[in-house]
Amino acid sequence: MTNPIYLALDVPRLEDGVALAKKVKGHVGGIKLGLEFFCAHGAHGVHLIAQVGLPIFLDLKFYDIPNTVAGAMQAIHVLEPSIVTVHASGGRAMLEDAKAAAAEHTKVVGVTMLTSMDQRDLERTGVEGSAHDHVMRLAELSKDAGLDGIVCSGQEIKSVHDQWKDGFFVVPGLRPAGSAVGDQKRVVTPRQARDHGASVLVIGRPISRADDPAQAARAIEATL
């Protein structure tokens, strides 16, 4: 079995990011670089992390008009990401154009509802109905638009997987039993997410803030 864990490398200093990626190499399946990393270190930083030799997941959560998103997607071909995120709520045309503009080997996944949000947060954005139904709607839209899969929490993954058998599902908001939840609200354990159909398990602080990140990654993998 390939290691499904992608380490979220949310660290401000590039040297620390490279050191951390080297430490966990061999204990995770890939590295996820998000907004914090990309805004601070750009394409140069991505190239440096890629040199460590793990697949790169660019979690840039594109959300704009179709033409702009397609241009951004083309601009990152050179970074050769294995996975890229777009916001599923950007609409069908945006999702279709994002997928059409992506490199052939890059999986494009739609972010449905951030794992840091709960039902009340969703209501405050003006969306009626349950978080579950909202995620299911955006999963269907992503599938119809030709995306490879979605990002959702472990609380919805089973229903999504039941409806989209060959989809590619990225699950963040994961916490090993007993670890600090922080700003995440819809949380499950890595094992629960895996059992319910997650393809990729995104894990950040429980590994990056551990005294021994490689050991923390190994311990999580052992639970899967």
25 is in an annotated binding site: no
Question: Which residues would be at the binding site for ligand LLZGTKA7 (CB under 6 A)?
Answer: 8, 10, 34, 59, 111, 114-115, 151, 172-173, 184, 202-205
2 is in an annotated binding site: no
Look up residue 22 and give its amino acid.
Answer: K
The closest of 12, 205, 19 to 216, measured between CA atoms, is: 205
65 is in an annotated binding site: yes
List Cα–Cα distances, 67 to 93, 174, 198, in angstroms. Answer: 9, 34, 31
8 A C-beta contact, residue 147 and residue 99:
yes
> Between 102 and 174, whose beta carbon lies closer to ligand LLZGTKA7?
174
Look up residue 106 and give its amino acid.
Answer: T
> Between 149 and 204, whose beta carbon lies closer to ligand LLZGTKA7?
204
**In whole angstroms, how close is the CB of 204 to ligand LLZGTKA7 at the nearest point?**
3
Chain residue whose CB lies nearest ligand LLZGTKA7:
204
Instruction: Show the beta-strand stretches assigned E in 49-155.
Output: 56-62, 83-87, 107-111, 149-151
Q: Which residues are annotated as a binding site?
A: 10, 32, 59-68, 115, 175, 184, 204-205
Q: Which residues are annotated as a binding site for substrate?
A: 10, 32, 59-68, 115, 175, 184, 204-205
